[in-house]
Structure 1
């Protein structure tokens, strides 16, 4: 079916958002055929909007109101995009692919937890948060990719999301703490004798204890990658390449953090563009980084 001009423009808007704001994910998304690339861009643009509400400068009550309004708008899809380009594109995609739009409810729940300053006593508590804000995106993406084995594939997509979010948490320790957010479980902080209280250029914790904590969490995240990457054989070649590229970039980022745990206290750890492109190229020929 030919798309209308309005729908085409809506998808272009989502692709623009993805290119400009998804530095890591864009390397994988570009490996998809056009129909799937547009649909995944619509998912990303919607998720970006939700994240921006949670991370913005509004007072907490207003953020929660905006999140509730966004939830209500998503519940009206795919019937009514309300003239909003991002929602129009997402609604169009959802009429053509089995995208589980209710997974956005979990993303909103996770962002609401950020707004209210929720902290996590145990790793299981943290996994709940990771599944909300990243596992949900894995399951939404699976609706675009498609698979002949949705039963086994869904929890693997979820696990890969957890791995990516754990990597983000380690990378952003200092930035998150400056915003009053501590994600690492209280039980782990106690185990390693760390508080993540500010001090000097990073934290006041003894460097050797903080390094041990980061290595421990990095090893835990690596195990989630091992589980989540079992998704790849359940996808078609281009979808598997997209997934492998995105996961590969983050897994290499995690390896860099594990090799120098205190680097996260000095600057935001990242990969150069040429290395990301190399990971994406390997993914396209069926090789993971």
Structure 2
């Protein structure tokens, strides 16, 4: 269903706002989203814009009380979208765009509630004793977005596709956790399981630009990277279930993170010294490879 001929000027303006947010802030995801046909590209931009808002609430400098209130208001926004009561004249462009997307595509808005649950875990300072505990968090903040995306993409087997998308989200979030290890530590957050930190002697944390004294830091990163690799291998089984352009979008986004994981695994201590990333030209190459049917 084409979005442009059927959407009013206010709705299209709302979508353009979401596209601008995506282009400006989705450093990795925007490369894949650009490969989608317009209706799906607009829908994915609306999903990303709300997800970005939720993340920004969690990562911002506001008080915990104010963050909690803003998350509550976001849940109310989702209730309006579910009820179909969002007016195209609403002053919140993300709400307007998401309302239109929900009418056009069978997205499960419960994924956003899970994302908010994950951000609330951060606000409470939840620590993860085991990998199974961490998986719950990862599925809330990343797997949820994968499952939401399936509604926009379309899928030959929606149930199986949602499972693979959830696992792919786990792979991406594990990669994020490794990339942001020191940044998170400086902000008082530790995501890696407590039992793994103890196993590799890393209980001291990662506030310094070098590994903890006496720790097997390289072993810790290798262990976590292998988990992420396994999740990538399983999650990428989603690709054959998608149409060509949706497959290209997913392959591009996953490919960028997969390459990032490879960089981290090859040089574990780099995550303590800088934010590991890929140059723009390489991200573009991975995206074009996805469009051509390759995987990077």
- Of 18, 22, 25 in structure 2, the residue corresponding to residue 18 of structure 1 is 22
For residues 78-97 of structure 1, the C-alpha deviation after alignment (integer angstroms, 9 at most, x for no partner) is: 42254310010011011010
Aligned to 2:266: 259
- Identify which of 60, 84, 91 aligns with 1:83: 91
1: distance between equivalents of 2:111 and 2:86?
Answer: 18
Alpha-carbon contact 1:18-1:44 (below 8 Å) kept: yes
Q: What CA distance in whole angstroms lies between the structure 2 residues aligned with 1:200 and 1:177?
A: 9
Cα distance between partner residues in 1 of 2:57 and 2:207: 29
Q: Residues 47-82 of structure 1, C-alpha deviation per residue, up to 9 Å, x if partnerless?
A: 000000000001112111111111111111042254
> What is residue 144 of structure 1 aligned with on the other side?
152
What per-residue deviation string (whole Å, max 9, x for no partner) do you get for residues 198-230 of structure 1?
554245343x61111011000100000000000
Give the count of matched residue pairs. Answer: 288
Q: Please give the residue correspondences for 1:194-233 in structure 2 after superposition, counting only pairs within 5 Å.
A: 194-198=202-206, 200-206=208-214, 209-233=216-240
Corresponding position: 1:191 with 2:189: no
* Cross-structure match for 1:237: 244
Structure 1 position 269 matched with structure 2 position 269: no
1:67 aligns with 2:71: yes
Contact 1:32 1:238 in 2 (8 A): yes
Question: What is the CA RMSD across the aligned residues, in angstroms?
Answer: 1.2
| 1:278 is the counterpart of 2:282 | no
Contact 2:167 2:232 in 1 (8 A): yes
Equivalent-residue separation in structure 1 for 2:78 and 2:213 (angstroms) = 43
1:135 matched residue in structure 2 = 143
Once the 2 structures are TM-superposed, how far is the Cα of residue 196 of structure 1 from its aligned partner? 4.5
Change over 3 Å in CA distance of 1:255–1:11 after alignment to 2: same
Whether contact under 8 Å (2:161, 2:238) holds in the other structure is yes
Q: Which position in structure 2 is the counterpart of 1:57? A: 61
C-alpha distance 202-79 of structure 1, shift in aligned 2 (>3 A): farther
Moved segments of 4+, more than 2 Å: 196-206
The alpha-carbon deviation at position 197 of structure 1 amounts to: 2.6
Q: Give unpaired runs (5+ residues) of structure 1.
A: none
* Bigger mean CA offset, 187-196 vs 267-276: 187-196
> Equivalent residue for 1:105?
113
Cα 1:200–1:228, aligned 2, differ >3 Å: closer, same or farther? closer
Aligned equivalent of 1:95:
103
Q: Secondary structure of the residue that 2:91 maps to in structure 1?
A: coil
Q: 2:255 aligns with which of 222, 238, 248?
A: 248
Q: Say if 1:197 and 1:205, in contact at 8 Å, map to a contact too.
A: no
TM score, norm. by length of structure 1:
0.97
With over 3 angstroms needed to count, the CA separation of the structure-2 counterparts of 1:246 and 1:169, relative to structure 1, is same
Q: Which runs of 5+ in 2 are unaligned?
A: none
1:148-193 deviation line (CA, Å, top 9, x unaligned)? 2112111000000000000000000000001100000001011111
